[in-house]
């Protein structure tokens, strides 16, 4: 099994995906263990002094003014975890929880948190045992980090609360730890707070969304090319010299992908035979401009994610010169903004795909295709209601594009009076990614059927490869009305797991 080694300088997006989705093992580097031990010595020295130090010998948040005596500090650390594990609602997905735990371990290993090496080792042991704490949908405001979600993870380290075992069954965490020979941790000064105070949930969801959207943007270039073919559009608008005079990188990449898919098509360039169509509609002609803008948004979001992956997000932090200083680095604004930005881009990509689908189904705008791509229009309804489903998904995408990060609600007796809502932005982006996948699946379904209905015209080799692969995957072609939901589910799976892009790339080579 693949192993990810965590050091002091952060991790990569590939590391996060390997642990969250691939179940990779986690190990601590010698450098990380040494940094953990050195930072802990600083915390222990401060804890022994009579002067109050936030997070070490005081309460938290609005209760930070109380100095906590040594005999109560272990109880303080336990209590912060128990009281902050206050999530409600449905369980969060396993991959999100594993990303959350791994990213918290990444920060712990930076040597800036003051956590003992044995606590970090226990975090790695829980991940390696495939034990997944039960984390709930609601509880994070995205400031002071993802407090409630991280608290539920810390509760498992203490042997309390519930967790899911490797068999998928939820049981008491104490039982699962015992079965795997993992000793529950007894938290000491600073450690409870250090396990809770990070942007790890929203960052983990951002990294996974970026991976998914990378595939979906390539998928959208393929489905747009198929629709252009099916509508007998022109590929002249995709010419590299036209993209060069508006040099947005994403636009150029999308146009190049579409051209690669359309190479050798016998359907493109027929608009002049269907006067008075001088130009294709915006949803066809401007496909690379819209998808390209989304690609550039992805590039910006990746930059933010890379910076956050290199960060040590905690409060207070242990500095190399021995100081323990409070800060505001836990605020989720940088991550929250790009999560919302990605939801906007996803909504627009879904919107333009739906417009192309609707055009394929409308006999007044499809340039010779049967109404709703039906076998016997009137007797058959064809894909009429598939477009309804697509329209409903796009409408939902537009609602999900309303930014969470534009909101703030004060908490902790007005001490935490401005919050990022980054966790909420991440949760709605996951829904948006799911819905965008379904929208593109319906465009794929309509476009492949429409191409096959263009009798006597030969599609591009890449398009033909996609159609053949889709049919083998259970995405059926033209014919009389049938139970449509299974076909759409097959198309969804074909897009979701990357087979659509893979099929095109058997002809085009790697798409950008």
Write out the catalytic residue numbers. Answer: 54
Give the separation between CA 196 and CA 184, rounded to whole angstroms.
17
CA distance 383 to 140: 41
Question: Which residues, at least 6 apart from 446, have a Cβ–Cβ distance to it below 8 Å?
Answer: 227, 230, 357, 360, 361, 373, 383, 386, 387
Largest CA distance in the chain: 88
Task: Provide the sign of the torsion angle of the four alpha carbons 8, 9, 15, 19, taken in this order.
Answer: positive
Kind and range of the H or E run holding 28: strand 25-28
What Å distances lie between residue 127 and 7, 155, 183, 374, CA to CA?
Answer: 16, 14, 14, 52
Residue ranges of alpha helices (H) inside 231-332 are: 240-244, 249-262, 282-285, 287-309
Cβ count near 189 (within 10 Å)? 24
Q: Residue 60 and residue 420: Cα distance in Å, rounded?
A: 19
Q: Go through the chain and tell me how many residues it has.
A: 512
Beta bridge partners of 170: 164
Record the tokens describing residue 356, joined without a space. Answer: 């192309």
Angle separating helix axes 422-453 and 200-230, nearest 10 degrees: 20
The enclosing H or E element of 505 equals helix 499-508
CA–CA distance, 27 with 475 (Å, rounded to integer): 43
H-only helix segments in 129-248:
147-157, 173-179, 191-196, 200-230, 240-244
Which tokens in the block code for residue 437? 């996948």
419 touches 470 (CB < 8 A): no
Q: Are strands 3-6 and 25-28 parallel, antiparallel or unpaired?
A: parallel
* CA distances from residue 373 to 9, 317, 359, 443 in whole angstroms, order as listed: 56, 62, 11, 13
Structure-token match 């906007």, residue found: 344
């Amino acid at each position: 099994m693949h192993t990810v080694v965590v050091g002091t300088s952060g991790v990569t997006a590939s590391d996060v995906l390997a642990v969250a989705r691939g179940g990779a093992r986690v190990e601590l580097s010698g450098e990380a263990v040494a940094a953990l031990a050195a930072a802990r010595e600083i915390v222990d020295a401060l804890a022994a002094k009579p002067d109050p130090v936030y997070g070490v010998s005081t309460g938290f948040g609005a209760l930070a003014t109380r100095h906590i005596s040594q005999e109560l500090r272990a109880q303080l650390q336990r209590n912060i975890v128990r009281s902050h594990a206050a999530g409600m609602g449905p369980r969060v997905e396993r991959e999100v929880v594993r990303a959350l735990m791994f990213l918290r371990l990444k920060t712990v290993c930076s040597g800036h948190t003051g956590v003992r090496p044995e606590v970090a080792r226990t975090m790695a042991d829980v991940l390696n045992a495939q034990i997944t704490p039960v984390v709930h949908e609601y509880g994070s405001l995205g400031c002071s980090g993802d407090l409630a979600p991280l608290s539920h993870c810390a509760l498992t380290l203490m042997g309390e609360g519930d967790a899911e075992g490797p068999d998928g069954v939820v049981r008491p965490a104490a039982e699962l730890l015992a079965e795997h020979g993992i000793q529950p941790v007894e938290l000491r000064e600073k450690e409870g707070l250090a396990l809770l105070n990070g942007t790890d949930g929203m960052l983990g969801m951002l990294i996974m969304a970026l991976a998914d959207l990378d595939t979906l943007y390539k998928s959208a270039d393929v489905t747009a090319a198929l629709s252009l073919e099916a509508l007998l559009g022109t590929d002249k608008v995709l010419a590299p010299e036209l993209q060069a005079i508006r040099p947005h990188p994403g636009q150029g990449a999308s146009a190049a992908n579409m051209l690669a898919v359309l190479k050798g098509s016998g359907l493109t360039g027929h608009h002049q035979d269907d006067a008075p169509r001088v130009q294709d509609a915006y949803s066809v002609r401007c496909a690379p401009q819209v998808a390209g803008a989304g690609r550039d948004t992805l590039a910006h979001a990746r930059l933010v994610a890379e910076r956050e992956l290199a960060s040590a997000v905690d409060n207070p932090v242990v500095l190399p010169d021995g100081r323990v200083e409070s800060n505001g680095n836990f605020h989720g604004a940088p991550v929250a903004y790009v999560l919302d930005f990605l939801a906007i881009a996803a909504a627009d990509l879904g919107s333009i795909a739906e417009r192309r689908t609707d055009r394929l189904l409308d006999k007044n705008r499809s340039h010779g295709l049967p109404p709703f791509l039906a076998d016997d229009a009137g007797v058959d309804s064809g894909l009429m209601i598939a477009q309804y489903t697509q329209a409903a998904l796009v409408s939902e995408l537009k609602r999900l594009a309303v930014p969470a990060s534009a909101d703030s609600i004060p908490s902790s007796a007005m001490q935490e009076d401005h919050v990022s809502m980054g966790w909420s932005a991440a949760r709605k982006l996951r829904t948006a990614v799911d819905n965008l996948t379904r929208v593109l699946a319906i465009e794929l379904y309509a476009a492949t059927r429409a191409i096959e209905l263009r009798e006597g015209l030969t599609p591009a080799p890449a398009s033909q490869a996609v159609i053949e692969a889709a049919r083998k995957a259970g995405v059926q072609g033209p014919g009389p009305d049938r139970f449509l939901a299974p076909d759409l589910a097959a198309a969804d799976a074909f897009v979701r797991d990357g087979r659509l892009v893979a099929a095109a790339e058997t002809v085009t080579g790697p798409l950008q």
